[in-house]
């Protein structure tokens, strides 16, 4: 018995996923529309009963049994204390823990996980766990804690860091053999108090809303995961320090309702198929886990299942909250949710305390702190050490200590220096020069001391910041609850535990009763036997009916799924055919072969990739040829090539390095015949008047309208050009404008 308890504490035992169901109250609209409530809950027995709205009135109710059920009157704190508190306690002890909220949109997943933060009564699991964690630390003794938090979202199979600076960035999943799957570059914030961690959550929630046009649609299609990592260092009986690391995943899943895919094509279809991919993969993982026959668990099928691999069938304690609505029109979704949850009950996990993992940040912090503190050791101590080490090995840290002096010594030195200065200044026997020299030396010394002081202060500041991040009971956080209250809390916990055990017993008893029906019993009279057997028959008949109904339902659901899948398959096949057609007709087989040989599937990123082109090694490299055949050479070129050495006619574009033949000439200017030159000279004679054009005279004789009005010399301007004629040619040379043409 003791051994069993110890094993449970250490976590060597397998345990199933805990499943609880919560039904929200009817909302105003449902009441106004007069919907009937079809859900009945027996909180004591942990049973949910659903009246069949589709069948006859007399049809038996569908019943499901869970670890706990919470009806519309349940309070947030009640849920927390009874169900979630033990899990968070385990995380504080170094276990991994996960809480999922699953269910149709609008049934209270977000209400259960987050609730209404400003109202202490209506706060959900996440804010309540903050309070719980920091209170636990405040009450601890001889332990150091480091709390970190991250917040991410998976939307359409893309991971977004809700605390990241760049909200457009998408993160990748990576895997390490020692620590498993993790999100690369995910921000983690060290939180020192409830306020700080709440702030982290608020920032994340704000980022979640940004970038979505409709928050309700967005949140019902995306999964949000808040992760709290708790590292705790402890000292065992032998005085050795240990670090335990617990990770708490708080998951608000996307709405589980069927997203209609019918009639969508292209990007819309892609979106529709991706929306619930993670959720259907989660269902497949659960099925494979509880099936018992599957050797392969399809964790890799989606980002969500990969990330939460440990929570399902691995090293984690897991609770699933299945949220349902009470009204009749939600019947189908409610039944589907309950079936899903019912299957999840059978998943077996193997949680264990994560002791002294390699990647504990707390250890790094402690080592860094120890190093910094070593730097602060007293100078006297250092000197002694130095003497010792002069004989043997020399430590690296020693050199760093050189620059560090403890605060007291610095202050003493400062004081000594001041005294000395006063003494020198008052010394009448000293020569002025000597005095100045002394004072100069002192100034240098003073600067040295100031520098040492600054270094010291910086070091102390760093130590302080680091220490403030490590939380200890009673020091960093103040817990206001008094002893009496604590005792009361403990008592409540015990009571709740008792209640839980009672429910378990009751469920066990019911099971036993059912099976004992089949055990043959002796009857004193025939009449008694008939009665007993009729009763048994009736019971079994009812059971048969419900099983038959269940079979029908399941078949119906299966058919619906099949139609959906078939539709998706049709569309994908069509797309595939189109692509194959394009490849077949427009891409050369050689290219296709090359690409196929380079293609490989990257399991980490879940995409096909191309390997880089590798040059064939070995053998001489061929000179690349621009085209398959040589450029055709004309007959003329061939002839010229034989006569002339001008490289222009060479077949190859090779530069002739030796005896370069010049193929260009210096520019010598045009040779102008003397007559032309004389004519030009005459034409270029300076004109006194400038040119002005009077547009108003357009109708007059053009030779009159254009008058030369140019002033100054223009010679030289037209040195090489053609001079405009001094006399404007007769207007008859040009076409006349017609002016406005009457209609
Ligand atoms: P989901 O996240 O599943 O889409 P919400 O948590 O947003 O659903 O809940 C939808 C509405 O129902 C919210 O207005 C919420 O306040 C209300 N609600 C859900 N569960 C409860 C409950 N147990 N008690 C009171 N109100 C609830
Ligand atoms: Mg929600």
Q: Is the pLDDT of residue 726 over 50?
A: no
**What is the domain extent for residue 547?**
534-602
Q: Give 666 or 503, the one with higher predicted confidence.
A: 503
Q: Could you tell me which residues come within 8 angstroms of residue 234 by beta carbon, excluding any fewer than 6 positions away?
A: 142, 143, 241, 242, 243, 244
% of the chain surpassing 90 pLDDT: 26
Q: Taking 70 as the threshold, does the pLDDT of residue 701 lie above it?
A: no
Ligand 1 binding pocket includes 108 (Cβ within 6 Å): yes
The pLDDT, as a whole number, for residue 278 is 83
Please name which of 129, 31, 26 lies closest in space to residue 79, comparing C-alpha atoms.
Answer: 129
3-state helix, strand, coil in the chain (%, to 5): 50, 15, 35
Q: Please identify, among 573, 602, 631, the residue that sits at the C-terminal boundary of a domain.
A: 602
When mean pLDDT is compared across 129-138, 223-232, 236-245, 303-312, the lowest value belongs to 236-245
Q: Which of 20-24, 375-379, 591-595 shows the lowest mean pLDDT across its residues?
A: 375-379
Q: What is the pLDDT of residue 442?
A: 82
**Residue 244 belongs to a domain with what CATH number?**
3.40.850.10
Instruction: Tally the domains of the chain.
Output: 2
Measured from the CA of 107, which atom of ligand 1 is nearest?
A: 3
Domain-located, residue 630: no
Ligand 1 in reach of 221 Cβ (< 6 A): no
Atom 18 of ligand 1: nearest residue by CA position? 108
Q: Is residue 44 part of a domain?
A: yes
For atom 23 of ligand 1, which residue has the closest CA?
24
As given in the structure block, the two tokens for residue 35 are 């919907």
**Averaged over 150-179, what is the pLDDT?**
88
Dist. CA 105 → ligand 2 center (Å):
7
Instruction: Kindly report the protein residue whose alpha carbon is nearest to atom 10 of ligand 1.
Output: 106
For the stretch 320-366, pLDDT in tens is 999 999 999 889 889 989 999 998 998 989 998 988 887 778 788 88
Q: What is the pLDDT of residue 319?
A: 95
What's residue 271's pLDDT? 62
Q: How far does Cα 689 stand from its chain's mean position? A: 82
Task: Among 106, 214, 251, name the best residue to mutate to test ligand 1's pocket (greatest count of ligand atoms within 8 A of Cβ).
Answer: 106
Distance of CA 332 to the CA centre of its chain: 33
pTM over 0.75, yes/no: no
Last-in-domain residue among 322, 355, 388:
355
Predicted local distance difference test score (pLDDT) of residue 305: 93
Ligand-binding site membership of 106 (annotated): yes
Q: Residue 148: inside a domain, yes or no?
A: yes
Residue where one domain finishes, among candidates 355, 372, 400: 355
For residue 258, is it within any domain?
A: yes
State residue 3's pLDDT score: 43
Q: Classify residue 622 as exposed, middle or buried by CB count within 10 Å of its CB (0-12, 13-18, 19+).
A: exposed
Least confident of 221-230, 293-302, 417-426: 417-426
Tokens 């008949």, located at residue? 541
**Ligand 1 centroid to 116 CA: how many Å?**
10
> Would you state the pLDDT for residue 480?
62
Q: What is the pLDDT of residues 580-638, one digit of tens each?
A: 999 999 999 999 999 999 999 887 767 788 988 876 665 566 666 666 666 677 888 88
Stretch (H or E) spanning 78 = helix 76-79
- Residue 33 or 472, more confident: 33
In this prediction, residue 625 carries a pLDDT of 64
The DSSP symbol for 355 reads B
Q: What is the pLDDT of residues 473-482, one digit of tens each?
A: 765 566 666 6
| Residue 522 annotated as part of some ligand binding site | no
Dihedral sign for Cα 364, 366, 367, 371, please. positive
* 282 located within any domain: yes
How far apart CA 245 and CA 362 sit, in angstroms, is: 9
Residue 689 has pLDDT above 70, yes or no: no
The answer to the question of residue 432 being in a domain is no
The token pair at 521 is: 């019993």
pLDDT of 48 over the 80 cut: yes
Mean pLDDT of 370-396: 52
- Residue 133 token pair: 């964690």
- State how far the Cα of 246 lies from the Cα of 232, in Å rounded to an integer: 8
What is the three-class DSSP state of 352? Answer: coil
Flag whether 337 is in a domain: yes
Q: What average pLDDT does the segment 381-408 reach?
A: 44
Task: Classify residue 515: in a domain, yes or no.
Answer: no
**Does ligand 1 lie within 6 Å of residue 366's CB atom?**
no
């Amino acid at each position: 018995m003791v051994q069993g308890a110890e094993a449970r504490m250490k976590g060597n035992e397998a345990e199933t996923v805990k499943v609880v169901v919560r039904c929200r109250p009817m909302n105003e609209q449902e009441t106004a529309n007069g919907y009937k409530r079809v859900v009945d809950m027996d909180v004591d027995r942990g049973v949910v009963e659903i009246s069949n709205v589709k069948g006859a009135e007399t049809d038996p109710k569908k019943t499901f049994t869970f670890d706990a059920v919470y009806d519309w009157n349940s309070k947030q704190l009640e849920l927390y204390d009874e169900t979630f508190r033990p899990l968070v306690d385990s995380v504080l002890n170094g276990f991994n823990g996960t809480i999922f909220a699953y269910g149709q949109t609008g049934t209270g997943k977000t209400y259960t996980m987050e609730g209404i933060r400003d109202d202490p009564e209506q706060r959900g699991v996440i804010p309540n766990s903050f309070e719980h964690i920091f209170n636990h630390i405040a009450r601890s003794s001889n332990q150091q804690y480091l709390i970190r938090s991250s917040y991410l979202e998976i939307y359409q199979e893309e991971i977004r860091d809700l605390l990241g600076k760049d909200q457009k960035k998408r993160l990748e999943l990576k895997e390490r053999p020692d620590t498993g799957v993790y999100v690369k570059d995910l921000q983690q914030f060290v939180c020192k108090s409830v306020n700080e961690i709440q702030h982290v959550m608020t920032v994340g929630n704000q980022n979640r809303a940004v970038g979505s046009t409709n928050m309700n649609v967005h949140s019902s299609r995306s999964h949000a995961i808040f992760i709290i990592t708790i590292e705790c260092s402890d000292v065992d009986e032998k005085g050795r320090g240990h670090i335990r690391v617990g990770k708490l995943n708080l998951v608000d899943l996307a709405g589980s309702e069927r997203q209609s895919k019918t009639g969508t094509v292209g990007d819309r279809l892609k979106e529709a198929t991706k929306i619930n991919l993670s959720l259907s993969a989660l269902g497949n993982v659960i099925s494979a886990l509880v099936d018992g026959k599957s050797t392969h668990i399809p964790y890799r099928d989606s980002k969500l299942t990969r990330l939460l691999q440990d929570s399902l069938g691995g090293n984690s304690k897991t609770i699933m909250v299945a949220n349902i609505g009470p009204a009749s029109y939600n019947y189908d979704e409610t039944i589907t949710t309950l079936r899903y949850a019912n299957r999840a009950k059978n998943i077996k996990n193997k949680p264990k305390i994560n002791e002294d993992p390699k990647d504990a940040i707390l250890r790094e912090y402690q080592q860094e702190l120890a190093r910094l503190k070593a730097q602060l050791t007293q100078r006297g101590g250092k000197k002694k050490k130095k003497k010792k080490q002069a004989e043997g090995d020399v430590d690296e840290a020693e050199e760093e200590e050189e620059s560090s002096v403890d605060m007291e010594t610095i202050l003493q030195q400062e004081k000594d220096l001041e005294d000395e200065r006063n003494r020198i200044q008052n010394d009448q026997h000293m020569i002025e020069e000597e005095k100045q020299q002394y004072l100069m030396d002192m100034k240098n010394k003073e600067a040295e001391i100031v520098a040492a002081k600054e270094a010291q202060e910086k070091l102390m500041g760093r130590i302080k910041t680091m220490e403030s991040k490590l939380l200890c009971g009673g020091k960093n956080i103040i817990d206001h609850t008094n002893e009496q209250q604590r005792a009361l809390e403990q008592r409540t916990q015990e009571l709740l535990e008792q209640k839980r055990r009672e429910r378990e017993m009751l469920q066990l008893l019911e099971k036993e009763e059912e099976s004992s029906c089949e055990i043959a019993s002796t009857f004193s009279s025939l009449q008694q036997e008939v009665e007993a057997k009729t009763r048994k028959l009736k019971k079994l008949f009812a059971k048969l009916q419900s099983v038959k109904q269940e079979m029908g339902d399941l078949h119906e659901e299966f058919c619906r799924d099949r139609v959906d899948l078939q539709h998706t398959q049709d569309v994908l096949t069509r797309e595939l055919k189109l692509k194959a057609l394009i490849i077949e007709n427009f891409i050369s087989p050689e290219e296709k072969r090359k690409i196929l040989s380079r293609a490989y599937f990257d399991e980490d990123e879940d995409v096909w990739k191309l390997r880089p082109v590798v040059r064939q090694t070995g053998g001489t490299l061929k000179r690349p040829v621009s085209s398959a055949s040589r450029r055709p050479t004309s007959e003329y070129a061939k002839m010229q090539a034989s006569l002339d050495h001008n490289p222009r006619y060479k077949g190859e574009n090779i530069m002739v390095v030796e005896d370069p033949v010049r193929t260009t000439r210096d520019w010598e200017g045009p040779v102008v015949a003397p007559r032309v030159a004389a004519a030009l000279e005459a034409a270029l004679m300076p004109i006194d008047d400038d040119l002005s054009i009077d547009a108003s005279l357009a109708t007059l004789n053009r030779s009159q309208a254009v008058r030369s009005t140019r002033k100054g010399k223009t010679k030289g301007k037209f040195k090489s050009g053609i001079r405009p004629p001094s006399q404007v040619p007769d207007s008859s040379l040009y076409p006349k404008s017609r002016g406005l043409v009457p209609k």
